[in-house]
Amino acid sequence: MKKLWGGRFTKSAEEWVDEFGASISFDQELVLEDIEGSLAHVKMQGECGILSQEDVTAISNGLLTLKERAENGELQFSVKMEDIHLNLESMLIDEIGPVGGKLHTARSRNDQVATDMHLYLRNRTKEVINLINELQTALLNKAKDNVETILPGYTHLQRAQPISFAHHLLAYFWMLERDKERFTESFKRINKSPLGAGALAGTTFPIKRELSAEYLGFSSIYENSLDAVSDRDFILEFLSNSSMMMMHLSRLAEETILWCSQEFQFVELDDAFSTGSSIMPQKKNPDMAELIRGKTGRVYGNLFGLLTVLKGLPLAYNKDMQEDKEGMFDTVKTITGSLKIFAGMISTMKVRTDVMERAVKSDFSNATELADYLASKGLPFREAHEVVGQLVLTCINQGCYLADLSMDQFKEANALFEDDIYVVLQPYEAVKRRNSAGGTGFAQVQAAIVKAESLLK
């Protein structure tokens, strides 16, 4: 099979060399974007008088035929044609004859592939934002059902203070909101057209880059042809945003894994998102959460891989940049799958309110309430902290909790204690009273839910 660029070559590469250099095994993912870009390019060629309307019609009809066949999974790609661009051009020529070879007038594969990836990420970024919304909705719905569900809050993975379970879930809602903002903000840099930049220097043909950009729905064009074909910042930004989002999902995955363990038993995952053991019949493993936690490293790797590919490249295009696609495709697949899985996992998760309630009544996470109580009565907080620390030590030595101490013991520790201390020590009251802005108090959590709902609308 003759190469479409082979005019000056007298020798063909061996098959294994072709396979090493080809990208069609993965860049066929861009087939619809490549056709979309070509349709805009040929329309612009006609508007600018570069091609006759007869040629434009023939080429456009041929591209639409290829698009239909692509959507039906009927296209057969060849390694000999290297990449998606040459494969489609060869198919177009087979479909409509030599006139198909006019399509590549006034463009290069360099601006063509860049255009394809801008179109691809534009579509996938919209999809990711929608999937983030779906996971946020799942978190919000679960939070609405658990405003007054109380569980131990942790620092250093040690019991710290009782909090609303809804408040804990909403922390991830706001993390995802920032992720969504980052993807949304990056959209303006994705939605920029490199088409018409040529190989690196523009073209002598009287093209109108703004016209093809308009046809493709781009908001602007690259101002510099060298930058247009060599820029991969928009992919790096997508990979960076994805990495940060996966870090957030991994943290939630880790907590989910802990919560459904025998040691915690705070939640139970639906069977649809769990697996069993081939040897231990009793096991119910949180494999989907573990996979998301594990796949986070994969997404990080794609980011660092592309950063390393680009770090020493001179302008403009270099074959190294063929390595920009597989990590991008893999990241899209990974993050969209992770978001879908997590939305289902949260929606179907059973919350063990009884276990959480027992947990907060069997620890010292209400100790800060005692210190705050004394501070509110005028005792310097540092002194209050010391008093309560001694009371905790007394409880540890006696094998009881703060609420089990007698009034005499409280009075002995400090005369400021009154009978109302037993109300203050109740986990429900401890959570309810934390009504500072953004706190875990029930009124604050309800306000946060209202604000979250308005954002999703």
- Kindly indicate the confidence band of residue 15, based on its pLDDT and cuts at 50, 70 and 90: confident
Task: Evaluate whether 49 touches 207 at the Cβ level (below 8 Å).
Answer: no
Mean pLDDT over residues 391-416, rounded?
95
Give the domain ranges of the chain.
Answer: 13-105, 110-358, 362-450
Helix, strand, coil percentages (3-state) for the chain, rounded to 5, are: 65, 5, 30
Which tens digit of pLDDT belongs to each residue from 323-345? Answer: 999 999 999 999 999 999 999 99
The share of the chain scoring above pLDDT 90, in percent, equals: 94
Encode 107-144: b = buried (16+ Cβ within 10 Å), e = exposed: bbbbbbbbbbbbbbbbebbeebeebbbbbbbbbbebbb
- For residue 128, pLDDT over 90 is answered with yes
Task: Evaluate whether 395 touches 401 at the Cβ level (below 8 Å).
Answer: yes
Instruction: Look at 132-136, 181-185, 362-366 and tell me which has the smallest mean pLDDT.
Output: 362-366
Give the number of other Cβ atoms within 10 Å of residue 276's Cβ.
Answer: 13
Three-state DSSP class for 314?
Answer: coil
Q: What is the CATH number of domain 362-450?
A: 1.10.40.30
Superfamily designation of domain 110-358: Fumarase/aspartase (Central domain) (1.20.200.10)
- For residue 19, pLDDT over 90 is answered with no
Which pLDDT does position 20 carry in this prediction?
77
- For the chain, the straight-line distance linking the first and the last C-alpha, in angstroms and rounded, comes to 55
Which tens digit of pLDDT belongs to each residue from 76-123? Answer: 999 999 999 999 999 999 999 999 999 999 999 999 999 999 999 999
- For residue 2, pLDDT over 70 is answered with no
Q: Which residues are catalytic?
A: 156, 277
42 Cβ contact list (under 8 Å, min separation 6): 51, 56, 59, 60, 63, 103
- For residue 1, pLDDT over 90 is answered with no
Which pLDDT does position 3 carry in this prediction?
59
Average pLDDT, the chain: 95
Architecture field, domain 13-105: Orthogonal Bundle (1.10)
Which pLDDT does position 360 carry in this prediction?
94
Element (H, E) at 192: strand 192-193
- For residue 285, pLDDT over 90 is answered with yes
Which pLDDT does position 11 carry in this prediction?
59
Burial of residue 216 (number of CB atoms within 10 Å: 0-12, 13-18, 19+): buried
Which tens digit of pLDDT belongs to each residue from 202-252? Answer: 999 999 999 999 999 999 999 999 999 999 999 999 999 999 999 999 999
CA distance 449 to 433: 18
Mean pLDDT over residues 292-304, rounded?
98
- Kindly indicate the confidence band of residue 21, based on its pLDDT and cuts at 50, 70 and 90: confident
Which tens digit of pLDDT belongs to each residue from 32-41? Answer: 999 999 999 9
